[in-house]
């Protein structure tokens, strides 16, 4: 047995209590987007668990295509977890399998480059500065119109469409509300009001969606929370964990734990579903490490921003007349079990009509850079999501995760639409601005 498969064996051994009851019932199959599209058992959760076991038992070489291809093709959406009657921790096992796969066969160049850049504050600052310049000058938007659909040009076009999708959406005007903001409800709720909170800056959020981080701080403040600046925080490490680089994921996680501990805040607010899921699972990431107890304690204080806002009310804002197509991010719905809170945030905005997208529980195909590393399958999964969003006929798409915002926005733009996508907190912030809460 190789070192890599021995490590996976050790990891599976640690999960034995939850793995052994896997009765191969197949309840997870219909929930799996890759199995639904490809119809291959190896591209299902049950099939992938089977492959992991085969590696552990020395029956399958982790460098083989059988292992590499099917583990790589997984979106990591975790739709298979809540439907599993045995509670198999598929997400944790997938990260360990990816680490095993990466040890014997390094990931493709694009994935390696992305992980290297995201792991370095300097490199990602440079990347995002370039991205903001391409966005501001309209180069990204223009490239979507000019580039072809196939080959390298197609991948570049999709990347440009994702970048252009991070532009601030044009909200329907709707005018200033005639309702007095003074008649709005006062914040209520014992959990959050008056508590100190720090906002995770994140990597993509800080680089391309700083306006949403700022909206997060303003809306929490407007709901009675005491928002503090937390310095020396870093990328959450989710991209690295999903890409099989658990060493870098732990390094980044440690920096965040130390930064938020130093700040003394009671809550860590996260507005990106993928980051929130990773940070709530830092304890598992450090399993068996000296940091484990601290990581588990830290995770208890991590909340999606919608959870904090919902526990504080949230305070009703001014009217914003529009309809939104709401889509559940996988890492909020399946990994964190947060489904109603973002809707409550939107319901605090008079005039907003929420239309939940059909099959909103299915992955949008974002999954990091899946659309570029798996263009065919990614575009089939993403295409179905974009069609469902368009089907609602809503003015804006709305989802609380940067990867999903970029994926859905890119699909909409490639289809020729404006591709306006927002985050619930961004819309709430707009409503609060109209209400005059920040004066
Ligand atoms: S639902 Fe759970 S127990 Fe059933 S096959 Fe899938 S992983 Fe195994
Ligand atoms: S994480 Fe998603 S794509 Fe991967 S096996 Fe589970 S349901 Fe299928």
Q: How far is the CA of 339 from the centre of ligand 1 (A)?
A: 23
- The pLDDT-based confidence of 35 (bands split at 50, 70, 90) is very high
Residues 250 and 367 reside in one and the same domain: no
Which structure tokens are listed for 38?
Answer: 């490809």
Indicate whether residue 20 lines ligand 1 (CB < 6 A): no
Residues 187 and 287 reside in one and the same domain: yes
Does position 170 have pLDDT exceeding 60, yes or no? Answer: yes
Q: How far is the CA of 91 from the centre of ligand 2 (A)?
A: 9
Portion of the chain with pLDDT greater than 90, in percent: 53
Read off the pLDDT of each residue in 7-21 and give the average, rounded to a whole number. Answer: 61
- Phi and psi (nearest 5°) for 59? -90, -15
Asked if residue 112 is part of any domain, the answer here is no
Mutate to test the pocket of ligand 1, among 30, 44, 46 (most ligand atoms within 8 A of CB): 46
**pLDDT given at position 345:** 96
Q: Any idea which residue has 């289809």 for tokens?
A: 415
User: Of all protein residues, whose CA lies closest to atom 6 belonging to ligand 1?
Assistant: 28
Last residue of a domain, one of 62, 87, 104: 104
Read off the pLDDT of each residue in 321-344 and give the average, rounded to a whole number. Answer: 94
Asked if residue 126 is part of any domain, the answer here is no
Asked if residue 88 is part of any domain, the answer here is yes
Q: How far is the CA of 17 from the centre of ligand 1 (A)?
A: 14
Question: What proportions of the chain, in percent to the nearest 5, are helix, strand and coil?
Answer: 55, 5, 40
Indicate whether residue 47 lines ligand 2 (CB < 6 A): no
**pLDDT given at position 29:** 94
**pLDDT given at position 183:** 36
Mutate to test the pocket of ligand 1, among 12, 43, 84 (most ligand atoms within 8 A of CB): 84
Residues 6+ apart with CB under 8 A from 413: 141, 144, 161, 164, 165, 419
* Counted domains in the chain: 3
Residues 305 and 322 reside in one and the same domain: no
Last residue of a domain, one of 258, 291, 309: 309
**pLDDT given at position 269:** 96
pLDDT tens per residue, range 171-211:
776 544 434 333 334 334 445 568 899 999 999 999 999 99
User: Of all protein residues, whose CA lies closest to atom 7 belonging to ligand 2?
Assistant: 32
Indicate whether residue 26 lines ligand 1 (CB < 6 A): yes
**pLDDT given at position 259:** 94
Residues 344 and 379 reside in one and the same domain: yes
Asked if residue 385 is part of any domain, the answer here is yes
Give the DSSP letter string of 272-331.
-HHHHHHHHTHHHHTTTSTTHHHHHHHHTTEEEHHHHHHHH-PPP-----EEEEE---HH
The winner for highest mean pLDDT among 10-24, 234-248, 267-281 is: 267-281
Indicate whether residue 42 lines ligand 2 (CB < 6 A): no
Q: How far is the CA of 12 from the centre of ligand 1 (A)?
A: 15
Q: How far is the CA of 356 from the centre of ligand 2 (A)?
A: 22
How far from the centroid of its chain's Cα atoms is residue 342's Cα?
Answer: 14
Residues 364 and 262 reside in one and the same domain: no
- The pLDDT-based confidence of 22 (bands split at 50, 70, 90) is confident
Shortest-distance atom of ligand 2 to CA 363 = 2
Q: How far is the CA of 24 from the centre of ligand 1 (A)?
A: 5
Which structure tokens are listed for 423?
Answer: 């985050």
pLDDT tens per residue, range 254-286:
999 999 999 999 999 999 999 999 999 999 899
**pLDDT given at position 141:** 83
Indicate whether residue 135 lines ligand 2 (CB < 6 A): no
Q: How far is the CA of 299 from the centre of ligand 2 (A)?
A: 24
Residues 242 and 345 reside in one and the same domain: no
**pLDDT given at position 1:** 53
Ligand nearest to the CA of 24: 1
pLDDT tens per residue, range 50-89:
898 888 888 888 889 998 999 989 999 999 999 999 888 8
Last residue of a domain, one of 89, 104, 119: 104
Least confident of 292-296, 331-335, 364-368: 364-368
**pLDDT given at position 182:** 33
Portion of the chain with pLDDT greater than 70, in percent: 90
Does position 6 have pLDDT exceeding 80, yes or no? Answer: no
- CB–CB of 103/3 below 8 Å? yes
**pLDDT given at position 186:** 39
Residues 304 and 343 reside in one and the same domain: no
Ligand nearest to the CA of 89: 1
Least confident of 6-15, 142-151, 247-256, 311-320: 6-15
- The pLDDT-based confidence of 327 (bands split at 50, 70, 90) is very high
Residues 296 and 337 reside in one and the same domain: no
**pLDDT given at position 105:** 79
**pLDDT given at position 149:** 73
Read off the pLDDT of each residue in 227-242 and give the average, rounded to a whole number. Answer: 92
- The pLDDT-based confidence of 246 (bands split at 50, 70, 90) is confident
Residues 275 and 322 reside in one and the same domain: no
Residues 185 and 305 reside in one and the same domain: yes
**pLDDT given at position 331:** 94
| CATH number of the domain within which 67 lies | 1.10.1060.10
Q: How far is the CA of 18 from the centre of ligand 2 (A)?
A: 17
Does position 239 have pLDDT exceeding 90, yes or no? Answer: no
User: Of all protein residues, whose CA lies closest to atom 5 belonging to ligand 1?
Assistant: 24
Which structure tokens are listed for 51?
Answer: 């492959």
Asked if residue 197 is part of any domain, the answer here is yes
Least confident of 116-120, 220-224, 237-241, 369-373: 369-373
Phi-psi region of 272 (alpha: psi -120 to 50; beta: other; left: phi over 0): beta
- CB–CB of 199/227 below 8 Å? yes
Cis before 314 (ω within 30): yes
**pLDDT given at position 189:** 43
User: Of all protein residues, whose CA lies closest to atom 4 belonging to ligand 2?
Assistant: 74
- Containing structural domain, residue 301: 181-309
Does position 359 have pLDDT exceeding 60, yes or no? Answer: yes
Residues 263 and 329 reside in one and the same domain: no
Asked if residue 287 is part of any domain, the answer here is yes
Query: What average pLDDT is seen over the chain?
Result: 86
For 336, the 3-state DSSP assignment is coil
Read off the pLDDT of each residue in 138-146 and give the average, rounded to a whole number. Answer: 84
Q: How far is the CA of 45 from the centre of ligand 1 (A)?
A: 7
Indicate whether residue 48 lines ligand 2 (CB < 6 A): yes
Q: How far is the CA of 84 from the centre of ligand 1 (A)?
A: 5
Does position 44 have pLDDT exceeding 60, yes or no? Answer: yes
Burial string for 240-253 (b: 16+ CB within 10 Å, else e) reads: bbbbbbbebbbebb
- The pLDDT-based confidence of 92 (bands split at 50, 70, 90) is confident
Shortest-distance atom of ligand 1 to CA 90 = 7
Q: How far is the CA of 81 from the centre of ligand 1 (A)?
A: 9
Asked if residue 397 is part of any domain, the answer here is yes
- Alpha-carbon gap, residue 103 to 290, rounded angstroms: 24
Read off the pLDDT of each residue in 354-373 and give the average, rounded to a whole number. Answer: 85
User: Of all protein residues, whose CA lies closest to atom 2 belonging to ligand 1?
Assistant: 84
Mutate to test the pocket of ligand 2, among 42, 45, 366 (most ligand atoms within 8 A of CB): 45
Asked if residue 221 is part of any domain, the answer here is yes
Shortest-distance atom of ligand 2 to CA 76 = 1
**pLDDT given at position 194:** 80
| CATH number of the domain within which 407 lies | 3.40.50
Which structure tokens are listed for 436?
Answer: 């005059």
Residues 94 and 192 reside in one and the same domain: no
């Amino acid at each position: 047995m190789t070192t890599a498969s021995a490590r996976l064996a050790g990891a599976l051994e640690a999960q034995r209590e939850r793995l052994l009851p896997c009765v191969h019932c197949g309840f997870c199959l219909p929930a799996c987007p890759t199995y639904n599209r490809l119809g291959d058992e190896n591209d299902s959760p049950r099939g992938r668990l089977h492959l992991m076991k085969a590696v552990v038992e020395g029956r399958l070489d982790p460098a083989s295509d059988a292992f590499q291809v099917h583990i790589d093709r997984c979106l990591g959406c975790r739709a298979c977890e809540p439907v599993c009657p045995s509670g198999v921790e598929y997400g944790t096992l997938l990260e360990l399998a990816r680490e095993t796969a990466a040890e014997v066969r390094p990931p493709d160049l694009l994935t390696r480059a992305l992980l290297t850049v995201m792991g370095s504050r300097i490199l990602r600052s440079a990347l995002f500065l370039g991205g903001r310049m391409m966005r501001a000058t309209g180069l990204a938007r223009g490239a979507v119109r000019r580039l072809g659909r196939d080959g390298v040009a197609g991948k570049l076009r999709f990347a440009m469409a994702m970048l252009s999708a991070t532009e601030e959406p044009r909200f329907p005007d709707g005018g200033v509300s005639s309702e007095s903001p003074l008649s709005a409800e006062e914040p209520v709720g014992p959990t959050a009001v008056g508590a100190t909170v720090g906002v995770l800056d994140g990597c993509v959020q800080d680089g391309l969606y700083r306006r949403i981080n700022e909206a997060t701080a303003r809306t929490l403040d407007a709901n009675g929370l005491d928002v503090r600046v937390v310095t020396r925080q870093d990328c959450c490490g989710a991209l690295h964990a999903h890409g099989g680089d658990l060493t870098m994921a732990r390094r980044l996680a440690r920096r965040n734990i130390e930064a938020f501990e130093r700040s003394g805040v009671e809550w860590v607010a996260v507005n990106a579903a993928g980051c929130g899921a990773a940070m709530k699972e830092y304890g598992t990431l450090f399993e068996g490490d000296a940091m484990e107890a601290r990581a588990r304690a830290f995770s208890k204080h991590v909340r999606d921003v919608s959870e904090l806002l919902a526990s504080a009310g949230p305070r009703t804002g001014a009217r914003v007349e529009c309809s939104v197509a709401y889509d559940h991010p996988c890492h909020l719905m399946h990994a964190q079990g947060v489904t109603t809170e973002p809707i409550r945030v939107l319901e605090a905005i008079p005039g907003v009509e929420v239309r939940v997208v059909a099959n909103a529980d299915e992955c949008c195909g974002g999954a990091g850079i899946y659309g570029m590393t798996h263009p065919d399958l990614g575009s089939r999964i993403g295409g179905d999501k974009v069609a469902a969003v368009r089907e609602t006929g809503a003015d804006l798409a709305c989802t609380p995760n940067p990867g999903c915002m970029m994926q859905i926005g890119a699909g909409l733009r490639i289809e020729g639409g404006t591709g306006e996508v927002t985050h619930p907190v961004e819309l709430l912030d707009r409503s609060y601005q109209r209400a005059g809460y920040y004066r």
